[in-house]
Amino acid sequence: MRHLIPTTALVAGAVLALGACSGGSGSEEPSAGATGEAGLELVSADALTVCTNPPYEPFEFEQDGEIVGLDMAITGEIAADLGVELRPLNTGFDAIESGAALNARQCDMAASAITITEAREENVDFTDPYFDADQGVLVAAGSTVADEADLEGLTIGVQQATTGADWVAEQGLQGVEFEDLGLQIQALRNGQVDVVVNDVTVLEPYADDELEVSFVVPTGEQYGVAVRTGNTALLEAANATIARIQEDGTYDAIVAEWFGTGEAAATDEPAPTGEASTTAEPTD
C-alpha cells in the first residue's frame, strides 16, 4: 500500500525568483526557527519541510492530490526518525539546486532526484548518495535517432538547471529549456521539440505506443538529499536514516514499491539505474 503525503501549496513567485540566485552563503546563521522533538531547528516544529519538484515520477509526483514517490518515502523515513511528520513543498528546481530555497528557510531539506555535483556542493550540503542513474533520450516512436551523433541539428527539450541540460550544452547541441518534466513531455508530443533529454529513470514511464527511450547516456550520476550548508545536525540525522533503511531492508522495499520491481540494492552495493530499472545498479 502506498502511503500518501499531504501536498503543500505551490511556492509563491518570490521563491521561484530565488532560483535565479547562485545561492548565497549557506553558512550564515539561521534565522529564528522552531525546534522539533529531536532538538533540531526546523521550519516548523512538528514537521520536516522538504522542497521537491514534481512531476518527476517515480521520485516525486502528484497522485490524488498528494505528493508521493521514492524521494517522499525516503524523506518520510527521515521525518519518522526525527519524530515529526513529513511536509512536502512544491518548489521550482532552480531554487532547489541553487540552495536558494534552503537558504531562505523555505524548507529544511530538498529531495528531488538531485544529482550530486561539485557546483551544487558549493551551495548546499548533500547526504550520502542513495540512488545511481544515467541520462536518457526520449523520442517519438519510430524515430531514426539512435545515438548521440543523431542529435546534431535537432531541437532538444531539457529541464532547466539539470545535468541533462548541462550535458546538451556541453555537446554543443541545441537545447530548449522547460521548467519541469511535464512541460518537456508535452513539448515532445506536440512537436515543439524533436527529442527530450532527462534522467532515463523518469523518462521510462512515458514510453508507450507514441514515445520510446531511444538510447541511454552513461553519466555515473548519484542522487543525494540536500540540506542548508552548515546544517550538520540535520545532515547527520539524514545520513543515519539512509544507513538504517539500507541495512534493514526498508530501502529495498521502497524501491520495489515505486519501481514495481523486486529487491533492489543500496548504493553502497549497486543501486537502481534507469538503464535497467528492473535491477539494481549505478542524475537532475
Give the residue with greater pLDDT, 3 vs 110: 110
- Rounded Cα distance between 50 and 60, Å, is 11
Please name the residues in contact with 241: beta carbons below 8 A apart, sequence gap of 6 or more. Answer: 74, 77, 78, 81
Every domain of the chain and the residues it spans: 5-130+224-248, 134-220
Q: How many CA atoms lie within 13 A of 178 on its CB side?
A: 22
Task: Determine the average pLDDT of the residues in 254-263.
Answer: 79
* pLDDT of 279 above 70: no
- Rounded Cα distance between 82 and 262, Å, is 29
How far CA 65 is from CA of 5, 8, 62, 161, in Å, comes to: 9, 10, 6, 26
For 189-199, write each residue's pLDDT tens digit. 999 999 999 99
* pLDDT of 22 above 80: no
Nearest to 77 by CA among 254, 258, 272, 269: 254
* Strand 226-228 with 124-126, pairing: antiparallel
* % of the chain residues with pLDDT over 70: 78
Do the two domains 5-130+224-248 and 134-220 of this chain adopt the same fold? Answer: yes
For 42-73, write each residue's pLDDT tens digit. 999 999 999 999 999 999 999 999 999 999 99
- Rounded Cα distance between 201 and 195, Å, is 16
How far CA 199 is from CA of 73, 185, 196, in Å, comes to: 19, 13, 10
Nearest to 58 by CA among 241, 264, 270: 264
- Rounded Cα distance between 32 and 34, Å, is 7
- Rounded Cα distance between 28 and 134, Å, is 34
Question: For residue 28, what is the DSSP state?
Answer: S
* CATH class for the domain made up of 5-130+224-248: alpha beta
**Structural contact between residues 277 and 260, judged by C-beta atoms closer than 8 angstroms:** no
User: Which CATH topology does 134-220 take?
Assistant: D-Maltodextrin-Binding Protein; domain 2 (3.40.190)
For 133-155, write each residue's pLDDT tens digit. 899 999 999 999 999 999 999 99
Categorize the per-residue pLDDT at 206 as very low, low, confident or very high, splitting at 50, 70 and 90: very high
| Per-residue pLDDT at 260 | 83
For 63-109, write each residue's pLDDT tens digit. 999 999 999 999 999 999 999 999 999 999 999 999 999 999 999 99
